[in-house]
Every structure is written in structure tokens, then in C-alpha cells.
Structure 1
Amino acid sequence: MPGQSPLIEELPALPGHLSGDVLALAIRAASHDGVKPLSEQTVLQARRLPESDGSHDAGAHLVVRLDGELAGYGHVDLSDPDHPSVELVIDPDHRRRGVGGVLLDHVLERWPSARLWSHGDLPDARRLYASRGLSVVRELWQMTRPLAGEWSDLPEQVDLPEGMSVRAFHVGQDEEPWLAVNARAFAAHAEQGRMSMTDLRDRQDEPWFDPQGFLVIVDENDRDPDGIPRLAAFHWTKVEPDQPHVGEVYVVGVDPDYQGRGLGTAATLLGLHHLRAVGVDEATLYVDGDNAPAIATYHRLGFERSAIDVMHAAGDSRS
């Protein structure tokens, strides 16, 4: 009957029919708000069905129903148990009915040290989090630069240190070496450094995955027993099929052993050249707002801040 309170169900994984409903809800919210409410990783986990042995990812899926209808969804990433990462989305048709507050209160009661994303830093989310005494503890900038037109100039040639060469990612060969370099390069990063083989495979199964746009820089002078050069740096680009004129600097990484040799800038430029060559007009990337050296580098490469995501937490959850 109408007027019931929101009901929350906590699940270790979403069954197939419910996964589709949740993702449809996220699409409706994105259309309404102009910003996607869920990260790529959360979308992939929402799609991932329970394993036949009953195993599942370290996380929780929160399904909210109001008057029998799906009204909201939350995902809690528990890979960092000290500071679980949370994303919430409320169906536009069910907003201003207390659904967001009930869902947020459930999260804070279950995981007091949780950190909650607000993609786009939308006013309604900001007010909701402030009403529970939460404050911003992290900013994630989106930066953008043109790759076509008057302001699209790139260096015609990208020089690599002696003994280094660039090639496309070899599916079936580069997965393990890449995961090792990625983990080393992002050892202190909250999300990227924990990428697993399952996470990588999920992305390889996505329609946007293109090994030709996954560039790896290798050291020809350091080869393994099979003669394969060591992976030193990489630039993984991303172009969504439904947005072919926008490309993403998905992730750029350099093995710490090769830091200080200009490989980060070189890898970035090589990826931008690739994106322009496949017809992309605009390049975007994401970078932490407190990463001053990276922001300075991207500014020098013509990027400017175009959007922002923020993470909220209680006062004792900043460390």
C-alpha cells in the first residue's frame, strides 16, 4: 500500500534480473542528472553474476524498494575494510521521499568509516551528506583537452629513451606483466593498484576494449628467458562505441624502476596521437585533485579541469 517506508535488502551479488533493473535505474539517473552515478567498476560488479561455487566480490549490493518498486541502489566496496567505498543512486521518480536518507543512514550504521562518492558533486547529494555531518575528503578531477581544431597541437614526434620501443598490448601474453607493473606503479592508489585478473578480463570483454589503443613501452635491453622485453610503461586509452569522438586517457603508468626518464609524458603523448588518429576530437582523463605534479603535467599537455567528483566521509574517516 502507498506510504510505506523504504525497505533495504543487502546482497553479496545481484541475480541477473535484478542486475538489469539496477543498471536501468542508473541510466535513468544519468539521463536526469547529466552525470553517471556509478563508476565503471561498480557497473561491472553489478553485472557480475554469482559464481557457481557461491563466491563473490568483496562488497555488498544494497537494493531499496519503495511501495514495491525499485527506488534506489547502493554498492559498498569492501576491498579496503578500513574505509569502504560507497556509491548510491536514487531513481529520479522516487526522490524527495526519504529514500536517499534511509539508504545513507543504513550505510553509516553498518560501515561508520565509509567514504561516499558524489559524481559530479550534485547539489542534492551535497546537501544530503552535509545533513549527516559528512565532509569532502577527496576530489577527483576530470580534465579535458581538444584533439581537433585550433588548439589541438601535439608534438609531431615522441622521443623514447634509447633501447625503448612502443607496441600494442598482446592479449594472452601481456596480462600478467601488465598487472605486476600496474600494481607497482599504483601501490598507493585507492582503486587502480588493486586491479585483479578478473577486473582486467572484465574490461577486455567490454565493447570498447581495443588492444591497438592499449600501448605498452618496453625495454628492449631487458628481456626475460623467452626473449620478451620487460614492460616499462603503458598508456591504456578508451573510446566508447556510442561516443566515438571522445577518448579517455584511461590509465597511464610507469614502473617505479623507470621513473625519472620521461616515460610518463611520452606514454601520454603516444596515446593522444593514437586517439587523434582514430578520429577522436576530445580527450579526457581523471586525476586526484591533490596530485599537484600530475595536474601540472596535464596542464602543460593542454588539459583543463572540466568536471569534479568528490568523496564524503565522517570527520574521523579522513586518515
Structure 2
Amino acid sequence: MPGPGPDIEELPALPGHLSGDVLALAVRAARHDGVKPLSEQTVLQARRLPEDTSSHEAGTHLVVRAEPGGPLVGYGHVDRTDPDHPSAELVVDPDHRRRGVGGALLDHVLRRWPSVRLWSHGDLQDARTLYGSRGLRVVRELWQMARPLAGEWADLPDRVDLPSELEVRSYRVGADDEAWLALNSRAFADHPEQGRMTLADLRDRQSEPWFDPSGFLVLVDSDQVDPEGEPRLAAFHWTKVETDHPDTGEVYVVGVDPDYQGRGLGTAVTLLGLQHLRARGVQTATLYVDGDNGPAIATYHRLGFERSAIDVMYAAGDTGA
């Protein structure tokens, strides 16, 4: 007769010691699987202290133990920012897999949030098997694309031409925050994650060791100024270089204000960011793009990027767009 299932606890935030346990579990899983099991946003949420209530209403942490009071064997995070389609990420300790932990965690999430969408980073076979066993199907693909910035295939133009009224400068922490959030929201109005970035989310990233305002490039329009005389932000390219992987740089986010679209600014600001990464000594540039975003993929192909990895999102039945 099978024993009781694992103990699953729901928490609005993780106390410090438990946050460390969750992040250590994620590291063990990444080493075992060759891919990080949790997104950057989930890691940042896991680090937030209980007294920081900014995300309590929008997220739930699931802590899984083999038995009450036992060691941590699994973890899940449900992001409820979109109440119609919450998204989740699940991870099981490599030493406790194939013991029903993942299935119990998944079933708990599906019972509590029937319209949930679940990420599978790296599209691993174990996740395919588990999600397929519950009748879930792939509803979204997120491609990782890469291109060299060094060697014979790393050609980049020496000059990027911009309209005469636009100039490029580095991001100013604090002074640009509100204007950038407004631009980001406009540029990604239909994006399920990026368009919902808040000031707390932005400050979380500004506090990360990798954050470098000199690699956060903004295009400003000197012909349009606000009441304080500040030029309007037209487009941006936020680059990212992890401190422990200095040879790889990421096209973290590229955005163009809808009022400036159709002028080639996306390509221009992408090239400016790639030039910045190359000047830093980065060998390879990576980026993420939705698999159904044909125009963006075509643009990145023209810039020398090729698909290098894939994340997929699963959902039950017809969950809508």
C-alpha cells in the first residue's frame, strides 16, 4: 500500500533560511539538467524577504517536503499577475525524482489553478513525460538564439546611423526609471511578462551584481521634451553580462516606442548593444524571443543569430490566447 504523498505548503513569501534552500535546490537541478529550472523573475521573487509585501498578492511559493518537517525536495512558484492565466515553474531535487514528488506538485497546482500555464525550461524529456501524462499540451515556445561576437563570423558594422534628432546615451538610474517603465509598458503592451514590469521589478534588477547602466542604452529624441526639458525616450537596448560568465552577453530587452516603429530603430539599437558587448570582450551574444514572433526572428536571423535552445509552456485543454 503506497505511503502518504509529499507535504506541500503554500507561502506568500519565503523566510530567509528557506529562500536559501530553494535557491540551492535550483542550483543542484541546473547542474544535473544542464539548464536553469527557474526564470530570473522567480529567483528574484524567492529572494524577497517576507516583510517586502510588494509581490505577496501576485505570487505563491510551494514548498515540498517528503514528510512534514523533512528536507526540501521540491519547489514551485505560481505567478498570478495575470489572474486568467497564472504561470508556474516547478523543480524537483535530482535525488528525489521518480518518487511521485513532481506528479504530486503538478497535481496540486492544477487543482488550485486549473488555467495555469507551466514552463519547461530546456524542453527536457522528463517534463514532457510528466506534463503529457496529465494531458497538457505546448501552447508557447520561447527560443534562445545566439551569435558570435568574436572570430571570422562576428562581423558587425562599424557605424550605426540614426535619425538626426535621436542620440544614444546610457541609462540614468533613478532619473530615467519612470519614463523607461512607461516606454516599456507601451512597447510590450501585449507581452505576458515584460509589459507588466513594475518599479519594484526594475529595482530588483538594478540591485543585481550584473546590472551595468553603461550597457543599458537608450535612444532619446531631442525634438520632443517633457515639461522638465528632458528628451523623450524613443527606444532602448538593455544588455546583460553575468559576472560569472563574462564571455557571454545577453540582448536582455530591446524595445521601441510604438510612435517610433517602422523607422528601423529596433535593428539600430540592437546593433548598438552588440557593439557595446563586443567592446566589453564578450565572445557570444544570446537573446530570447517567442517562437511565433516571425518578424523578430527574421530580424535576428539577418543579424546573425541562430536558434540554440528552447523553453516551452504547457497548459491544459483550450486555455485561450
Q: In the alignment, which of 171, 174, 178 is matched to residue 172 of structure 1?
A: 174
Distance in 1 (alpha carbons) for counterparts of 2:54 and 2:145: 40
Distance in 2 (alpha carbons) for counterparts of 1:258 and 1:54: 33
Unmatched 5+ stretches in structure 1: none
Distance in 2 (alpha carbons) for counterparts of 1:60 and 1:284: 30
Q: In the alignment, which of 238, 241, 244 is matched to residue 242 of structure 1?
A: 244
> Does residue 10 of structure 2 align to residue 17 of structure 1?
no
Mapping for residues 135-214 of structure 1, pairs under 5 Å: 135-214=137-216
> Does residue 93 of structure 2 align to residue 91 of structure 1?
yes
Give the superposition deviation at 1:226.
Answer: 2.0
Contact 2:54 2:200 in 1 (8 A): no
Unmatched 5+ stretches in structure 2: none
- Which residue of structure 2 aligns with residue 219 of structure 1? 221
- Which residue of structure 2 aligns with residue 65 of structure 1? 65
Contact 2:143 2:289 in 1 (8 A): yes
Distance in 2 (alpha carbons) for counterparts of 1:4 and 1:241: 43
Query: 1:33-64 CA distances to partner (integer Å, 9 max, x unpaired)?
Result: 00000000000000001226797251100000
- Which residue of structure 2 aligns with residue 305 of structure 1? 307
- Which residue of structure 2 aligns with residue 42 of structure 1? 42
Distance in 1 (alpha carbons) for counterparts of 2:270 and 2:73: 41
CA 239–55 in structure 1, closer or farther in 2 if over 3 Å, else same: closer
Query: 1:82-112 CA distances to partner (integer Å, 9 max, x unpaired)?
Result: 0100000000010000000000000000001
* TM-score under structure 2 length normalisation: 0.97
Give the superposition deviation at 1:318.
Answer: 3.7
- Which residue of structure 2 aligns with residue 267 of structure 1? 269
Contact 2:171 2:216 in 1 (8 A): yes
- Which residue of structure 1 aligns with residue 103 of structure 2? 101
Q: In the alignment, which of 76, 79, 82 is matched to residue 80 of structure 1?
A: 82
Q: Which residue identity lines up with residue 66 of structure 1 in the other structure? A: A
* TM-score under structure 1 length normalisation: 0.98
Q: Which residue identity lines up with residue 186 of structure 1 in the other structure? A: F
Q: In the alignment, which of 291, 294, 297 is matched to residue 295 of structure 1?
A: 297
CA 115–160 in structure 1, closer or farther in 2 if over 3 Å, else same: same
Q: Which residue identity lines up with residue 185 of structure 2 in the other structure? A: A
- Which residue of structure 1 aligns with residue 133 of structure 2? 131
SS in 2 for 1:41: helix
Give the superposition deviation at 1:227.
Answer: 1.7
Q: Which residue identity lines up with residue 295 of structure 1 in the other structure? A: I
Distance in 2 (alpha carbons) for counterparts of 1:252 and 1:53: 29
Contact 1:143 1:304 in 2 (8 A): yes
Distance in 2 (alpha carbons) for counterparts of 1:315 and 1:122: 21
Size of the alignment, in residue pairs? 318
Q: Which residue identity lines up with residue 203 of structure 1 in the other structure? A: R
Give the superposition deviation at 1:223.
Answer: 1.1
Distance in 2 (alpha carbons) for counterparts of 1:255 and 1:172: 20
RMSD, aligned α-carbons: 1.3
CA 101–235 in structure 1, closer or farther in 2 if over 3 Å, else same: same
- Which residue of structure 1 aligns with residue 31 of structure 2? 31
Contact 1:4 1:66 in 2 (8 A): no
SS in 2 for 1:183: helix
Runs of 4+ in 1 over 6 A off after TM superposition: 52-55
Distance in 2 (alpha carbons) for counterparts of 1:23 and 1:153: 38
How many percent of aligned residue pairs carry the same amino acid?
78
Distance in 2 (alpha carbons) for counterparts of 1:32 and 1:54: 33
Distance in 2 (alpha carbons) for counterparts of 1:202 and 1:49: 12
> Does residue 254 of structure 2 align to residue 252 of structure 1?
yes
